């Protein structure tokens, strides 16, 4: 799993093009302020260690969001972090569980449409901790 995490003063996305068959249709964009925006990519080896990946995904997101005192999290699939890719159904299920568990501990969670290219705008402040890359 690879995570590219941004603290965003502002983040906006809009679905641009559907690239994966069998996913729900999406047409509406959305904007957020003061959010931890998590770009993620599931890798093929993640399927062999689902529980470990889930645990580290949650731990990293919580740590990062709390560094900025935000309870808003946006999850964005970004399959440009590695050439290794997990099966889409695996990633969707894993991220669905991440979303559910974060909500259960008080986070407000949104996801950009899975299986879409999205256009987006992001305003990230200058401090180095506002952008963090993790792989596990």
Yes or no: say if 129 and 7 are a contact pair by the CB < 8 Å rule.
yes
Instruction: Report the pLDDT averaged over residues 99-117.
Output: 96
Q: DSSP character for 14?
A: E
Q: How far is CA 121 from the centre of its chain?
A: 15
For domain 2-18+31-125, is the CATH number 3.50.80.10? Answer: yes
Chain segment 35-82, per-residue pLDDT in tens: 999 999 999 999 999 999 999 999 999 999 999 999 999 999 998 888
Q: How many CB atoms lie within 10 A of CB 105?
A: 9
- For residue 16, what pLDDT is reported? 95
- For residue 81, what pLDDT is reported? 87
């Amino acid at each position: 799993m690879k995570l590219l995490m941004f603290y965003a003063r502002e983040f906006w996305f809009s679905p641009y093009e559907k690239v994966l068959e069998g996913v729900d249709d999406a047409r509406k964009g959305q904007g957020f302020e003061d959010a931890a925006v998590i770009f993620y990519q599931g890798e093929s080896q993640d399927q062999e260690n689902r529980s470990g990946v889930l645990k580290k995904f949650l731990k990293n997101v919580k740590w990062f969001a709390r560094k900025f005192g935000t309870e808003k999290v946006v999850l964005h699939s970004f399959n440009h972090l590695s050439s290794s890719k997990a099966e889409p159904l695996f990633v969707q299920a894993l991220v669905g569980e991440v979303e559910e568990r974060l909500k259960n501990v008080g986070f407000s969670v949104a996801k950009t449409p899975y299986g879409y290219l999205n256009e987006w705008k992001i305003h990230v402040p200058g401090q180095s901790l506002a952008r963090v890359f993790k792989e596990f």
